[in-house]
Amino acid sequence: MIIARGRQAVAGNARLVAGVFMLALGALLGGCASMAPQTRLLGQNGLPPGVPRHFELKQVPFFPQDEYQCGPAALATAMSAAGVPVTPQQLVPEVYLPERKGSLQIEMLASARRHGLVPYQLAPSFSDVLTEVAAGTPVIVLQNLGFASDSWHYAVVVGYNYDRGGLILRSGETEREIMPFILSEMVWRRSGYWAMLVVPPDRIPVTAEQNRWLAALAAFERVGERPRVQLGYQTFLKRWPDNANGWVGPANTYSAAGDLTEPARVRREGLARAPDSPVVLNNLAQTLSDQGRDQEALPLIDRAAASEGPFAEEVKKTRAAIVAKLNGGRSSASGN
């Protein structure tokens, strides 16, 4: 009897446990939609237009990671695919942070610049990732694979299969990891959907937003080799010639190289496109002033000063300097 009772009790407990478990599962499943909202949207809306149902960048190289060094491995994968052959070992001194036993996102972006590539952080969108991959660019994603604690990991998306609902990744020690969309999103979401890619300066990522791409080029200008920086700006202007801010960079890089005539030419071209931009006006005025042509510079800087804007302070300074030079009698109408 005692044994039977015991059995009954066990059976009853088992039913209770099973019931609670199912309830918990129900809650979990109900929560799934909110755990992977983008996957649900992808299921409802289908793929972005023009993107094939399955696609894989098979030629993207694979670098199995050493301990803790998924950052350098992922970056080497993406950079090699962009035409700059590097090994993870070469990148360790650039991105690895010994005390943290890992690599920070900001440094992942910065390292690419040092190798002549322009890094771009994608919008936090699943379909943007698929769009970029389908356009031929592997995408680095930051995942949190930890269960009880955090375990951050960089992996490279190199393909997907929409019908099977999964991503294909180079990840850690796995050359071709297939991860369901829902799971990919769950681990990716925890990084705030952080994703980046690297491209040569003459390529604009297909999902790039023009102002954010210009900011990416501006950051590249800091360390990139000048011809590559120029190439980046030229490519930008071919695509978005009416972006006044786009005209600022190319002329500045010529100026920095000590060239006095080319910047003025580029700035005039920019002015024709954006006649009211205080920034373009300011920089053209400054260029002319540098050439000793302050008489010509004055009306331009006056036009710039007429509009209130975020650069009013800089414009005021430029104008004061030009006026001072004119009053000092060092004005000169010489020049071509």
**Residues between 274 and 313 that touch other proteins (CB under 8 A):** 279, 282-283, 286, 289, 310-311, 313
Binding residues among 139-178 for other proteins as defined by CB under 8 A:
142, 144-147, 150-155, 171-174
Half-sphere exposure of 175 (CA within 13 A, CB side): 6
Name the minimum Å distance from CB 3 to other proteins: 31
Binding residues among 39-58 for other proteins as defined by CB under 8 A:
none
In the three-class reduction of DSSP (H, G, I as helix; E, B as strand; rest coil), residue 201 is classed as coil
Binding test (CB under 8 A) with other proteins, winner from 321, 323, 325, 326: 321
What tokens does 230 get? Answer: 């120029």
Is residue 123 within the footprint of other proteins (CB under 8 A)? no
Q: Please, which residue, 51 or 140, has the CB nearer to other proteins?
A: 140
Helices 278-290 and 312-327 cross at an angle (nearest 10°) of 30
Give Cα 75 to chain centroid, integer Å: 13
Are 139 and 157 in contact by the 8 Å Cβ rule? The answer is yes
Alpha-carbon distance of 116 to 122, in angstroms, equals 19
Binding test (CB under 8 A) with other proteins, winner from 61, 136, 180, 292: 180
In the three-class reduction of DSSP (H, G, I as helix; E, B as strand; rest coil), residue 193 is classed as coil
Is residue 118 within the footprint of other proteins (CB under 8 A)? no
Q: Give the total of residues touching other proteins (CB under 8 A).
A: 80
Binding residues among 201-240 for other proteins as defined by CB under 8 A:
211, 214-215, 217-219, 221-223
| CB neighbour list of residue 1: distance below 8 Å, 6 or more residues apart | none
Name the minimum Å distance from CB 266 to other proteins: 13
Q: Please, which residue, 113 or 131, has the CB nearer to other proteins?
A: 113
Q: Which of these ranges, 83-91, 128-136, 245-253, 323-331, lies near other proteins under the rule CB under 8 A?
A: 245-253
Q: Which of these ranges, 38-46, 90-98, 130-138, 323-331, lies near other proteins under the rule CB under 8 A?
A: 90-98
Is residue 100 within the footprint of other proteins (CB under 8 A)? yes
Name the minimum Å distance from CB 8 to other proteins: 25
Alpha-carbon distance of 46 to 41, in angstroms, equals 8
In the three-class reduction of DSSP (H, G, I as helix; E, B as strand; rest coil), residue 217 is classed as helix
What tokens does 80 get? Answer: 């090699």
| CB neighbour list of residue 86: distance below 8 Å, 6 or more residues apart | 75, 76, 79, 80, 115
Name the minimum Å distance from CB 43 to other proteins: 15
Which residue reads 């009897």 in tokens?
Answer: 1
Name the minimum Å distance from CB 334 to other proteins: 20
Is residue 113 within the footprint of other proteins (CB under 8 A)? yes
Is residue 135 within the footprint of other proteins (CB under 8 A)? no
Q: Please, which residue, 99 or 163, has the CB nearer to other proteins?
A: 99
Angle (nearest 5°) at CA 234 between 232 and 236: 70
Binding test (CB under 8 A) with other proteins, winner from 317, 324, 327, 332: 317
Name the minimum Å distance from CB 300 to other proteins: 12
Find residue 153's DSSP bridge partners.
143
Helices 210-223 and 248-256 cross at an angle (nearest 10°) of 10
Binding test (CB under 8 A) with other proteins, winner from 256, 272, 306, 324: 256
Is residue 104 within the footprint of other proteins (CB under 8 A)? yes
Are 285 and 297 in contact by the 8 Å Cβ rule? The answer is yes
Is residue 331 within the footprint of other proteins (CB under 8 A)? no
Binding residues among 1-20 for other proteins as defined by CB under 8 A:
none
Is residue 131 within the footprint of other proteins (CB under 8 A)? no
Q: Which amino acid is at 123?
A: A
Name the minimum Å distance from CB 122 to other proteins: 16
Buried-exposed string 261-300: b where 16+ CB fall within 10 A, e elsewhere: eebbebbbbbbebbeebbbbbbbbbbbbbebbbbebbbeb
